[in-house]
Every structure is written in structure tokens, then in C-alpha cells.
């Protein structure tokens, strides 16, 4: 479907529902609050394995509940509204009228259908706490914080018991991962600004989640229609699809027409926080001419999106007039869409960016809805050649200043990062961000570690994402195989999400997250014991794993077979381990020490004389113990 | 096709030929030797770009020459035989008779057809130099070394000129990448054992290449039929296909029947070095029963494969009896097929491994044909849980001892590495290898940085591969999406190769290889200037990039369009850079300094009072210069 397809043919978006393979969703109840229960997914392991089901973090929302019937026309349950209202300091009001330009002037059959229900927006009033940051500073544990403590904590008790047997601390580069996540820990991290809970009070459908380096590394999936292609139905489906495979947040980067209506359908049905780049819509409102942008149009767009329930805004307020010329000698200039819009505006008017000059006003608006800043890196490098240059770092320093201003206003902040960075420059970028932005969460796009593989940029960037996640980035924005080439379809979204889930997990492992290893070890045991179904189900993408297996060994019997296609039925390396274990069980500690000592002696003597002799000694040992 | 398919239906393998898109192969002639000319691929850039064609390293062999007609029944030209013979110290002899067990006893229609031509093998005689290591130590620059200097050097002069403008030294972790590769440098690296040229004197079809940390990082692709599936035709096609996309070496890991004949077809048609694991074939010769293996069977297999022209042998001589019990408490025991074969043998006989006790005899055999050791890591971790444990490192230390023995015999050596290693343990593994193995080249499988993504292990391992390549690994053994699940098909081979090419390149970039950035920068410029065809062609996989682009914007006109599907025709971030450049060109140095100074002053004052004021100053600057 392209932009010329009449939208009057709009049908209800279809979304994918039902549990993931061998999985059941459990809501773990809070001891503290009666109406707080956070989801965890348990993956069932084959009965013969004699292992408990494996708990994993679950961002999929109710769509993966057993028997859940999605009513996309109605949207998800608005559970969190009660929490917001009971805390007070908010008012319900009529809200802004939807205007034709909100949908790019689309009319008649070209106008996407409005979401059927209109909910009156809430907004904060007065100086009492509204945002999670303000509550945290006031020492108040919100229900969102409690919810997050439960969901982040999943499996950690078991992990700690395991850890006593087998300590593997990782290298955290200064992150302070707690043994056990408490609501108080969540509150403290929020109060310090080291973590954010993107949770617009007008997006009560979303399940609270946290982004910070002392929690599980999160991932974001970008969706959104463009002026050239794709429809509302596709985007709603992609949003649910992305969360099904593990997206922790979703950004709607729609451009062109129908931005307002598309976003409404997405938000009302989204169990995860939704981010946007408001300047994209503002630009559409002025006919795509950057120099025609005004603070008034932008402000109006912010309020429109705050009322709809967008949870975080990318704001490119660090693209300042005095930095723009620093990009002139770059290989790839300014590649951020938002950054270049603002650069064009600044140059056209020879004025400082209104995002910068009006920053405090932006803070006031966002505070009233508890929308989180994602301070955009409009001057990020678009090629490895431009990484860590003066333009990038001048902007980053500015984002650090703006962070402190936002914090002053009680607004939560995360910082966006690149982009394209070769491996040897990644850590310097991370370290600089931590230093100049007061440990506000870093949220990076990749980075791509080389520019030479269009079509595979989920991988060039997955490498960088895993590394920067290890070094301290709190959320990784996915890159799909279509990056630089086209808009991702459903399959691309899945590949992007899975790639970034594995990168985030690799980062958690390397940081020494106390519970991360549980899943690797459970899967490794399944693999080693030829529990094929368990191996599929414990993985990030059971469907693909099963399909790949069946391509080579299609029969059902092969999924209980104690061999794999590499080695065939006659011989299998993994089977030999049982012999090894039996042998090792038969060795006394003294015998083991003898083996070690003998091997060391032989090493000293060198090879020349030892070979035949060792064989004799080995035999003797055998005879003695036999 | 499976093992029951009659092989009498054997048809000539079909292979893919013809130049890669927009590419031409040039053979750069040596100044030193008349009959030495090494290939380089030039990628043509669109005329309007006003850029020279980009040279890239080319391991694809004659198959990508313009107009090349492959005669798979005849094999590639045996150019290097003359070089070997003219150096002397070799004799031609009748060679070993092919026995039924060489093909697993396959007969009649189950026996794969023999390669049509039989070439008498060569072998070294006496104590004068035979191997590249011996020639290097004797101060002799072989034609292979000269060839390698030319091919490794590609583009480096241009890069050095570029580097003067834009220095980016990388972080080499002690690697000593030269500004310019000379044959003398190649000789010296070989003499020190820091690099190897896998080039059996009986594989004259192969183009000389080098593996060492001070050269381009290389990649290996595994192919091979198994007892369960796949045929000779498929494997020959896969070999050519793998090199087409950039495999620098290929390992034939065939098991089951027809190992000998399959390998012959592969070697005779391979432009890259071929590696094998001889114990696989030896095991087939004793009916798949590990305990029935004998030194005699193994020795016979080595000679068989030396005569055929295998360039390097994986030999698991570090799996020693005293280490086997160290694996008993692992999550995944012993997962290397070769390692577990030897462990089973050692336990069954309670004897030290014959690979260890007969190591010097193995060296003597391999020296006579200049076959390179790839000392196998039979005790490598099969899960991140087991990484860097005592078993793995005890074996690695042994490989270090064996390296010195092989060197004493004049035999070239590389060392195999894991496997599965979480990110925070990769560098320790690399550093230990460099230390205990005297800088012999490291050749690692991945490593996979997490175990939770079956179906995506090309990516979990691509992350580890890029990192360990950066830290000093000389060759990366690919992992395909089918890893742990099934045998890779043609598509999987391509995905595995491209993934590892990009990982190797990311490593070269991070190490500061003087020429690596040329390709990234050329592609980035093409991307920035909307030269779509150039962007496709300069990438590792032009076909996939083009297909992805055309999915969204199929029309031919869109490939010359100055926009992409993300932003649409109305607005494009990259176009704005021209405005920025014009603006920057108009600023004097003083004006730039003023901007910097003013922005610093504003930063000091803070946001409160500065906003409107700055706008005025900016305007004033504009007025003054306008």
C-alpha cells in the first residue's frame, strides 16, 4: 500500500497474539501494592530435564497471554490511569482539537480513520510532584517503581544461589548492578537521574519499564510510515510484532500524511513506551519546508503529542548555530533527519535553534505529562570517518548542560548517541557521555562499526551495540537489514529486534548481570543433552531455530534424536562427555593431582623422550585404579 | 540429496562465474619475478563521482575474471608447480593408491566419481628448505611471499596519502602493521612464525595468501558433506560460492562416505587454501569407532591428504589424557568433534593421545609437503559458561609447547581458538594465546558471545569475531545461521561469509590498518551523494543491497533519486549539507573563533538569560558578513 491507496478501505489492524512457544505469562504480585503485578514469562523445559521453568523478562504485553483476544478498535486496558489519578496533582481537560494539518491535510479517502474512542487527556498542575523523577526525589516509591522492581528482578534469587557455586562477575566499567533489585533501588536510580521510566500519564496502556545502566539493557524498535510507503495497519501490526520479539520501547518515526491518526492507533494498542521525534510532524505541518518552522508550530505539536500519550520525545536541542560549521569538512555532514532540519532552520534564519532557546519552556510542557527527554544527537556521525569529531562532542557537551536544566525542571532525561563508530572509538564515546551528562542513560543507534556492508547493517551495528551496551549504554536502538536502503517490513523488524536482543543480552552477560547467565546455561544444557525442543524454546526465536533444524532433519523423530546433522547418528562429540564424567568420577583427588604433576614433569622434560614413556605411565595408572 | 542417492547420477558440478558487479580483476605484476602477478579487484565508481576506482583484496580466483569459463572436470591451472620445482628439494613420485576405505567403502552407484585427472604428487627430500618457514629463515624471498606482498599491499599507497590528511591510528594492541607491505616484511613475519602461508606443494591451483596479525584479518568458511546429507556437486559449488563472497580459506569437514573423492574435486578447483581435520577421515576408515583408531591409520590418512594437496591440518594434539578430567564439571563438556574423538580414544586405552606422542613424526610428514598446522582446540568451551576454564587453558599451553616443536621441524603453525566466550573474557583469551604460543597466528571460531540465539549464531559470534580480530586474531572461522541446528546451504554460506567479512573488516579498521578505511570512506561518500549504484557496488554484497532498495523503491529512476525511502522526496537530511558547506565556506577563521567563543560564554552564563540575546548576536554576525 502506498500513499495513493485510499484510506477509506481502512480495515482493523490485525495483530499477532498468543503465547510464545512453550511459554506462559505469570503476573507476579507486589507485596506493597494490591493493584501492582508485573509480568514474567516462564519457558517450560522438557519434563525429563528435571529443571525448573526458566523465567525471562517479558515486554510483550497482554498479547502473549493465553487466550487473549485483542480488540484493536478499543485499545489495551488503561490500567495505569488510576495510579496517576490517585497520586493527584493532575487534571482532566478537553485537550487540543485535532486539526487537518495534524494528518498532513489528508482528506476523504486519503485520510486514515480516526481511532474510535477519544480519551480526555490528563495534565499535571502546580508544583507538587508529577513526574517519576519528582516522586523519586521526594522519597516516594510509585507503583511504577514497584512494578519495575518486580519485573527487573526476575530470576535473580535463583541466580544468586547459582552464583555462589560459580562466580562470574563480569566487567561492569563502573555500573553498579545490585544483587537484588528493590523498589527503593529503582527510586534511588531515578532520583539520581541514572535511569528513566518513560511513562506519559496519558499512555496508561503501557507497562512501566526502566532504562538505566544498572538494569537490564533495553532495546528500541523504530517503525513508522513514510511519505513514500506503508499504512496504519502495517504500523500497528509492526508495533505488536516488535514487542512480541522483545522490543522494550517503540519509536513511531512516521512522516508524510496521517501522522496523528497512525500514532493514536499505535499508542492505544501499545504495551511499551512510545517515542517520537516531534519535529518530524512539525515539519509536515509547515509543508515540509524547514525554514518555515516556528516555535509556535513546534509547541503545538508537543502538546498534541503529550496529550496523545507519547512517552519520550527526541529533541535535537544540541544542534546549535555555532556548531553547524563544524560539520562542513565531514565525509557525511549531518545525517540525522532532525539535526539537519534544525541546521537548515538555523542557517536560513541565522538564529540560534528555537529548541535551544526555548528549552526551558519545552521542559515545562513535558513535565506536565511526564514525558521523558531523549536529547537527540543531531550531529551524530553518519560514517565511521566522522566519529568522535568536534561537532559530535560539542553537541554532546551541550546535551550535558541541557540535562541539568531538564533535571532542574523535574523532567527525566536520556541522551541519544551514534550512529557510526569504529570499535576502537566506542569506549571513548561512552566514557565522554557518562562524564558530561551526569550518568543520564545513554541511548544509542548501533553504532555501526564499519560502513561497507549495506544489507547487513543490523550486524555491523549489532557488534557496536553489544560493545557499547557492555560499556554502559542503557538502551540500544535497533538497526534492521534495510538500514540505508529502504523501510523495514515485518520480517526486517523481527530480524532487527532479535539481533538487538542478543546484543543487549551479550552486554548484560559481560557486565556481570546477576541473572543473565541463567538463560545461556539453561540453553547450553539443553543443547548438550540433545533436548532439541528445549533448545528451540529457550532461544530468542524458537520458530526460526526449529525451521532451520527441520530443513536438514525434518522428521519428528529427529527432534528427540541424540545427534545432529553435523556429526550424524554414528558419532557425537557431546555423548562422549558422559564417558568423561564417569572416568572423572572414578579418579581420586590424589590421582588427579598425579595426572597434573606428571603432565607438568613431562612438559619440563620436553617432547623428545617423553612420548612412549608417558603412555606407559598412563597405562599403569589405569591398571592400578582398575 | 542424501546418502542414499545413487552417485552414478553424478553430474559435473556447476559453479558461479563472472565478475562481481561493477568490478574488474587486475593482476598486478611483480618487479622482482617475471611470472608473479597478484590479483586485485577494482570497483568502478560512477563517472560523475570523479573518484578513482576502488581497489579491494580479491580471494575469488579466476572465477571472477571477465569471460572465464570454468572447466571443473579439469580443475584450475596448476601455476605454482613450476615455482615449487624450480626451488628444488622435491621429488615427484607415484603416491599412495586410493583404497576403498578412503571413500568409506562406498561402491557402485554410491561411490562418487573420481576426479578425471590424476597428478603425481610431489614431496620434499633432504634437509634443504622445503617449507615457506624454512625458506624465510634462510633469508629467501619465495615467489609466494612476493605475490602476497603485492596482494596485501593493495591501495596502501593511496591510503598513506589520505592518512597524512586525516590520521586515525586505531588501537592495535601490539600488532605492528607496516605502512607498506614489502616481500621482505612478509619473509620476516613468516620467519618469526607470526604468520603462515598455507600452501601445500601439491595444491598449485591455490593463490598464495597469508595469515598473521600484521596483515589483513582473514576468514575461513567451512563446507563438507556429512553422513546425513549433501553431495559432491553441492560442496564444490559451495567452495566456489564461499570464495566468491570473500572466504580466504575453506575447510572441508566432510564425514561419511566419499570423503576422498569429494576432497579431490574441491582441491583441484580451489583458488584458496583448503584445510581439513584428518581425524575425521581416519575415524571413517575404522568404521566410526573412536577406540579403533591407530597411529597407522592416522598416518596413512595424513599422507593421503598431503598428496592430495590439503594446505592445513587441524590436529588436536593438545587433548592430552591428563586434561580430560578437567572437562567433567563443565556445562557442555567436550564439544569439539576432533577433541571428543581423541578423548574417547584416550579413555578407552588409558593412554596418552597418539597425536601428542607421535607429534614429531607428524611434523616430519607435514614438512615434506609444506602443510601448515592448525593446532586444534579440542577442549574449547561449547558454552559461555565454560569459557577460559582450566581445561581450555591447559590445552592452550600445550599448543604453545607443540608450536615450538613444529617450528623446530620447519613446519608452519597456527592455533585454533574458541568457540563460546562472553565479551568480557575475550581479551584474556587472546592475550594468553599470544603469550603462550609465541605470537603464532590465532584462528578462532567466532567466539559466540551468548548462547541464547540459535538461528542467529552468525551474529552472536560475529560480535566476538570482530572483537577478537581487533585484539589480534589473524583468521576468523565463520559461523552460519545454521550453527547448532543443521548443515549450511548455499544461502547460509553466503550469509556466514559476508558476516565474517564485515567482522574482519571492522577489526582491520579498529586496528588502524592503513588501507582499511578507503572502502568505508568511498562507500560513505557514495551514500551521502545518493550514488545508489556505487553504494551497492562498493558494499560486500551488492545483490542484497540492490534487492533491499528495490523492495521499497523499485523503479529504475529511484536509483538515481536524491532521496531515500526513509525521508521521501520532499526532504532529505543529506542535501542540507551543501548549504552547511556553503555557509562554512563563507565564514572567516575569525568568525569561526567568534562563534566558538560566544558559545562558550553563553555556556558559562547559563541558559536563563542567553536565549533571545544569542539570536540577536547571530543575526548581527549575519548582517556583518552579508
Name the more confident of B626 and A156: A156
pLDDT of residue B612: 45
Strand partners, B124: B90
Distance CA B12, CA B269 (A): 12
Give helix then strand counts, H and E, for chain B.
23, 15
Q: What is the DSSP string of B465-504?
A: HHHHHHHT-SEEE---TTTTTS---HHHHHHHHHHHHHHH
**Confidence class of residue A108 from pLDDT cuts 50, 70 and 90?**
confident
Within 8 A of B333 by CB-CB distance, chain A residues are 528, 574, 576-577, 580-581
- Indicate whether B500 pLDDT > 80: yes
pLDDT of residue A604: 64
Distance CA A469, CA A463 (A): 10
Q: How far is A150 from chain B (nearest CA, A)?
A: 23
Within 8 A of B540 by CB-CB distance, chain A residues are 452-453, 456
Q: Residue A531: inside a domain, yes or no?
A: no
* Contact check, Cβ <8 Å, B548/A482: yes
Within 8 A of B564 by CB-CB distance, chain A residues are 484-486
Mutate to test the interface with B, among A571, A610, A623 (most CBs of B within 10 A): A571
- Angle at B314 (CA atoms; ends B91, B358), nearest 5 degrees: 70
Average pLDDT over residues B7-35: 88
Average pLDDT over residues A349-360: 96
* Contact check, Cβ <8 Å, B489/A551: yes
- Indicate whether B609 pLDDT > 50: no
Q: Residue A65: inside a domain, yes or no?
A: yes
Contact A190, A148 (CB under 8 A): no
Contact A275, A209 (CB under 8 A): no
- Indicate whether A6 pLDDT > 70: no
User: Which of A147-156, A536-545, B580-589 has maximum average pLDDT?
Assistant: A536-545
CATH of the domain at A256: 3.20.20.540
- Indicate whether B603 pLDDT > 80: no
Q: Which of A539-553, B23-37, B358-372, B589-603 has the lowest mean pLDDT?
A: B589-603
Q: Which of B451, B503, B381, B330 is nearest to A509 (CA)?
A: B451
**Confidence class of residue A178 from pLDDT cuts 50, 70 and 90?**
confident
Name the more confident of B49 and A254: A254
Asked if B405 reaches chain A (Cβ–Cβ under 8 Å), the answer is yes
Q: Which long-range contacts (CB under 8 A, 24 or more apart) does B114-117 make?
A: B114/B261, B114/B264, B115/B75, B115/B261, B115/B264, B115/B265, B115/B268, B116/B73, B116/B74, B117/B74, B117/B75, B117/B268
Query: B432 is written with which cell numbers?
Result: 594468553
**Confidence class of residue B574 from pLDDT cuts 50, 70 and 90?**
low
Helix H, strand E, coil C: the string for B229-273 is ECCHHHHHHHHHHHHHCCCCEEEECCCCCCHHHHHHHHHHCCCCC
Mutate to test the interface with B, among A1, A450, A492 (most CBs of B within 10 A): A450
Q: Residue B422: inside a domain, yes or no?
A: no
Interface of A with B in 249-288 (CB under 8 A): 253, 255-256, 283, 288
**Confidence class of residue B231 from pLDDT cuts 50, 70 and 90?**
confident
* Alpha-helical segments (H) within A409-456: 426-436
Asked if B615 reaches chain A (Cβ–Cβ under 8 Å), the answer is yes
pLDDT of residue A468: 98
Model pLDDT for residues B244-269, shown as the tens digit of each residue: 999 999 999 998 889 999 999 999 99
Question: What is the share, in percent, of chain B residues with pLDDT greater than 70?
Answer: 89
Average pLDDT over residues A269-275: 98
Asked if A231 reaches chain B (Cβ–Cβ under 8 Å), the answer is no
pLDDT of residue B48: 77
* Contact check, Cβ <8 Å, B574/A332: yes
Mutate to test the interface with A, among B422, B464, B538, B600 (most CBs of A within 10 A): B422
Interface of B with A in 130-169 (CB under 8 A): 166
pLDDT of residue A432: 98
pLDDT of residue A570: 55
Name the more confident of A129 and A601: A129
Distance CA A403, CA A374 (A): 10
Q: How far is A79 from chain B (nearest CA, A)?
A: 33
Q: Residue B210: inside a domain, yes or no?
A: yes
Within 8 A of A513 by CB-CB distance, chain B residues are none
Residue B539: alpha-carbon gap to chain centroid: 17
Q: Residue A80: inside a domain, yes or no?
A: yes
Q: Which of A476-485, B88-97, B474-483, B603-612 has the lowest mean pLDDT?
A: B603-612
User: Which residue has cell 594437496?
Assistant: B309
- Chain A residue with Cα closest to B621: A350
Nearest to A454 among B329, B351, B536 (CB): B536
Within 8 A of B401 by CB-CB distance, chain A residues are 603, 607
Asked if A482 reaches chain B (Cβ–Cβ under 8 Å), the answer is yes
Q: How far is B424 from chain A (nearest CA, A)?
A: 5
pLDDT of residue A621: 35
Q: Which of A158-162, A300-304, A381-385, B513-517 has the lowest mean pLDDT?
A: A158-162
Distance CA A606, CA A608 (A): 6
pLDDT of residue B11: 75
* Contact check, Cβ <8 Å, A573/B481: no
Model pLDDT for residues B276-285, shown as the tens digit of each residue: 999 999 999 9
Distance CA B585, CA A328 (A): 8
Interface of B with A in 166-225 (CB under 8 A): 166, 170-171
Mean residue pLDDT of chain A comes to 90
Number of domains in chain A: 1
Neighbours of A53 (CB within 10 A): 15
* Contact check, Cβ <8 Å, B422/A509: yes
Average pLDDT over residues A4-15: 64
pLDDT of residue B7: 46
**Confidence class of residue A625 from pLDDT cuts 50, 70 and 90?**
very low
Average pLDDT over residues B461-476: 98
Average pLDDT over residues B491-496: 97
**B90-92 and B122-124 beta bridge pairing:** antiparallel
pLDDT of residue B4: 41
pLDDT of residue A233: 86
- Indicate whether A29 pLDDT > 50: yes
* Alpha-helical segments (H) within A88-231: 132-137, 143-153, 156-165, 183-192
- Indicate whether A618 pLDDT > 50: no
Q: How far is B260 from chain A (nearest CA, A)?
A: 17
Distance CA B382, CA A577 (A): 12
Distance CA A417, CA A377 (A): 6
* Contact check, Cβ <8 Å, A470/B336: no
Name the more confident of A152 and B571: A152
User: Which residue has cell 513526574?
Assistant: A131
Beta-carbon pairs below 8 A across chains A and B: 498
* Contact check, Cβ <8 Å, B171/A505: no
pLDDT of residue B303: 98
pLDDT of residue B163: 59
Mutate to test the interface with A, among B252, B255, B450 (most CBs of A within 10 A): B450
* Contact check, Cβ <8 Å, B328/A528: no
Q: Which of A212-221, A442-451, B152-161, B258-267 has the lowest mean pLDDT?
A: B152-161
A383 is in an annotated binding site: no
Asked if A565 reaches chain B (Cβ–Cβ under 8 Å), the answer is yes
Query: B461 is written with which cell numbers?
Result: 559470534
- Indicate whether A162 pLDDT > 70: no
- Indicate whether B620 pLDDT > 60: no
Q: Which domain holds residue A146?
A: 60-315+357-375+398-407+437-446+457-514
Distance CA A95, CA A103 (A): 17
Average pLDDT over residues A613-621: 39
Distance CA A22, CA A66 (A): 11
Name the more confident of B254 and B315: B315
Q: What is the DSSP string of A492-560?
A: HHHHHHHHHHHHHHHHHHHHT-TTTHHHHHHHHHHHHTT-HHHHHHHSS-HHHHHHHHHHH--SGGGGS
Nearest to B450 among A458, A505, A581 (CB): A505
Contact A469, A214 (CB under 8 A): no
Q: How far is B68 from chain A (nearest CA, A)?
A: 27
pLDDT of residue A157: 77
pLDDT of residue A305: 98
pLDDT of residue B565: 56
Model pLDDT for residues B28-68, shown as the tens digit of each residue: 999 999 999 999 999 999 877 888 999 999 999 999 999 99
pTM of the model: 0.93
Within 8 A of B423 by CB-CB distance, chain A residues are 466-467, 470, 506-507, 509-510
pLDDT of residue A3: 39
Element (H, E) at B353: none
**Confidence class of residue A369 from pLDDT cuts 50, 70 and 90?**
very high
* Contact check, Cβ <8 Å, A256/B568: yes
Q: How far is B114 from chain A (nearest CA, A)?
A: 24
Mutate to test the interface with B, among A576, A601, A611 (most CBs of B within 10 A): A576
Distance CA A449, CA B508 (A): 11
Model pLDDT for residues B437-455, shown as the tens digit of each residue: 999 999 999 999 999 999 9
Model pLDDT for residues A39-81, shown as the tens digit of each residue: 999 999 987 788 899 999 999 999 999 999 999 999 999 999 9
pLDDT of residue A49: 81
* Contact check, Cβ <8 Å, B463/A460: no
Please state, in angstroms and as integers, the Cα–Cα distance from residue A449 to each residue in A384, B458, B503, following that order.
7, 16, 9
Q: Residue A591: inside a domain, yes or no?
A: no
Asked if B355 reaches chain A (Cβ–Cβ under 8 Å), the answer is no
Question: Residues of B marked as binding?
Answer: 222, 251, 280, 316, 336-338, 377-380, 416, 420, 443, 484, 564, 567, 572
- Indicate whether B624 pLDDT > 80: no
Average pLDDT over residues B618-622: 37
Neighbours of A66 (CB within 10 A): 10
pLDDT of residue B2: 39
Mean residue pLDDT of chain B comes to 90
Within 8 A of B319 by CB-CB distance, chain A residues are none
**Confidence class of residue B623 from pLDDT cuts 50, 70 and 90?**
very low
Residues in Cβ contact with A161 at an 8 Å cutoff, skipping those fewer than 6 apart: none
- Chain A residue with Cα closest to B597: A322
Q: Residue A208: inside a domain, yes or no?
A: yes
**Confidence class of residue B571 from pLDDT cuts 50, 70 and 90?**
low
ipTM, interface predicted TM-score of the complex: 0.93
Name the more confident of A586 and B407: B407
Question: What is the share, in percent, of chain B residues with pLDDT greater than 90?
Answer: 74
Q: Which of A20-34, A45-59, A195-209, B429-443 has the lowest mean pLDDT?
A: A45-59
Distance CA B484, CA B477 (A): 15
pLDDT of residue A9: 59
Distance CA A479, CA A485 (A): 12
- Chain B residue with Cα closest to A337: B573
- Indicate whether B396 pLDDT > 50: yes
Q: Residue A336: inside a domain, yes or no?
A: no
* Contact check, Cβ <8 Å, B615/A333: no
Model pLDDT for residues A531-588, shown as the tens digit of each residue: 999 999 999 999 999 999 998 776 766 666 655 555 555 556 566 777 788 888 888 8
* Contact check, Cβ <8 Å, A583/B328: yes
Question: Residues of B marked as binding for Zn(2+)?
Answer: 420, 484
Distance CA A121, CA A371 (A): 13
Phi, psi torsion values for B163, nearest 5 degrees? -65, -30
* Contact check, Cβ <8 Å, B452/A502: yes
- Indicate whether A391 pLDDT > 80: yes
Nearest to A510 among B422, B510, B574 (CB): B422
Amino acid at each position: 500500500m502506498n500513499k495513493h491507496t485510499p484510506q477509506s478501505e481502512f480495515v482493523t489492524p490485525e495483530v499477532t497474539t498468543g503465547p510464545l512457544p512453550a511459554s506462559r505469562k505469570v503476573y507476579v504480585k507486589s507485596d506493597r501494592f494490591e493493584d501492582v503485578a508485573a509480568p514474567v514469562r516462564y519457558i517450560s523445559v522438557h519434563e525429563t530435564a528435571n529443571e525448573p521453568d526458566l523465567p525471562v523478562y517479558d515486554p510483550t504485553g497482554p498479547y502473549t497471554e493465553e487466550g487473549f483476544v485483542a480488540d484493536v478498535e478499543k485499545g489495551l486496558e488503561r490500567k495505569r490511569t488510576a495510579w496517576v489519578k490517585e497520586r493527584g496533582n493532575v487534571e482532566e481537560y478537553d485537550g487540543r482539537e485535532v486539526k487537518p494539518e495534524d494528518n498532513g491535510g489528508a482528506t476523504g479517502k486519503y485520510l486514515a480513520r480516526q481511532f474510535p474512542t477519544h480519551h480526555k487527556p490528563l495534565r499535571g498542575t502546580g508544583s507538587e510532584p508529577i513526574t517519576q523523577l519528582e516522586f523519586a526525589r521526594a522519597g516516594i516509591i510509585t507503583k511504577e517503581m514497584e512494578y519495575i522492581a518486580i519485573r527487573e528482578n526476575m530470576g535473580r534469587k535463583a541466580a544468586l544461589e547459582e552464583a555462589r557455586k560459580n562466580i562470574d562477575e563480569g566487567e561492569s566499567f563502573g555500573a553498579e548492578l545490585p544483587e537484588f533489585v528493590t523498589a527503593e533501588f529503582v527510586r534511588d536510580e531515578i532520583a539520581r537521574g541514572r535511569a528513566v521510566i518513560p511513562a506519559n500519564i496519558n499512555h496508561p496502556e503501557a507497562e512501566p519499564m526502566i532504562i538505566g545502566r544498572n538494569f537490564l539493557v533495553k532495546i528500541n524498535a523504530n517503525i513508522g510510515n513514510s511519505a513514500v510507503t506503508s499504512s496504519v495497519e502495517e504500523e500497528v501490526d509492526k508495533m505488536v510484532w516488535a514487542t512480541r520479539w522483545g522490543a522494550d520501547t517503540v519509536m513511531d518515526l512516521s512522516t508524510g500524511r496521517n501522522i496523528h491518526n497512525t500514532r493514536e492507533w499505535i499508542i492505544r494498542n501499545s504495551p511499551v513506551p512510545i517515542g517520537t521525534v516531534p519535529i518530524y510532524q512539525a515539519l509536515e505541518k509547515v509543508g515540509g519546508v524547514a525554514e518555515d518552522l516556528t516555535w509556535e508550530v513546534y509547541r503545538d505539536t508537543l502538546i498534541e503529542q503529550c496529550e496523545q500519550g507519547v512517552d519520550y520525545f527526541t529533541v535535537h536541542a544540541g544542534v546549535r548555530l555555532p556548531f553547524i560549521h563544524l560539520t562542513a569538512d565531514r565525509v557525511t555532514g549531518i545525517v540525522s533527519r532532525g539535526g539537519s532540519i534544525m541546521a537548515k532552520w538555523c542557517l536560513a534564519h541565522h538564529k540560534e535553534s528555537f529548541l535551544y532557546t526555548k528549552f526551558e519552556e519545552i521542559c515545562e510542557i513535558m513535565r506536565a505529562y511526564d514525558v521523558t527527554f531523549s536529547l537527540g544527537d543531531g550531529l551524530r556521525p553518519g560514517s565511521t570517518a566522522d566519529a568522535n569529531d568536534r561537532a559530535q562532542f560539542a553537541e554532546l557537551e551541550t546535551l550535558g548542560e541541557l540535562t541539568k536544566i531538564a533535571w532542574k525542571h523535574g523532567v527525566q532525561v536520556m541522551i541519544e548517541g551514534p550512529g557510526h563508530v569504529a570499535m576502537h572509538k566506542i569506549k571513548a564515546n561512552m566514557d565522554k557521555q557518562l562524564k558530561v551528562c551526569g550518568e543520564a542513560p545513554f541511548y544509542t543507534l548501533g553504532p555501526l562499526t564499519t560502513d561497507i556492508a549495506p544489507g547487513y547493517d543490523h550486524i555491523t551495528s549489532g557488534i557496536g551495540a553489544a560493545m557499547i551496551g557492555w560499556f554502559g549504554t542503557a538502551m540500544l536502538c535497533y538497526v534492521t537489514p534495510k538500514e540505508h536502503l529502504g523501510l523495514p517490513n515485518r520480517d526486517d523488524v523481527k530480524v532487527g529486534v532479535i539481533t538487538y536482543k542478543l546484543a543487549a543480552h551479550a552486554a548484560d552477560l559481560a557486565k556481570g548481570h546477576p541473572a543473565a547467565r541463567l538463560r545461556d546455561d539453561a540453553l547450553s544444557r539443553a543443547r548438550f543433552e540433545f533436548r532439541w525442543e528445549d533448545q528451540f524454546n529457550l532461544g530468542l526465536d524458537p520458530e526460526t531455530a526449529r525451521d532451520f533444524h527441520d530443513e536438514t532433519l525434518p522428521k519428528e523423530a529427529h527432534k528427540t534424536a541424540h545427534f545432529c546433522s553435523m556429526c550424524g547418528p554414528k558419532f557425537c562429540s557431546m555423548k562422549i562427555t558422559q564417558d568423561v564424567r564417569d572416568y572423572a568420577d572414578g579418579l581420586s583427588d590424589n590421582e588427579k593431582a598425579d595426572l597434573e604433576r606428571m603432565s607438568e614433569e613431562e612438559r619440563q622434560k620436553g617432547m623428545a623422550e617423553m612420548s612412549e614413556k608417558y603412555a606407559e605411565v598412563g597405562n599403569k595408572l589405569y591398571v592400578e585404579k582398575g
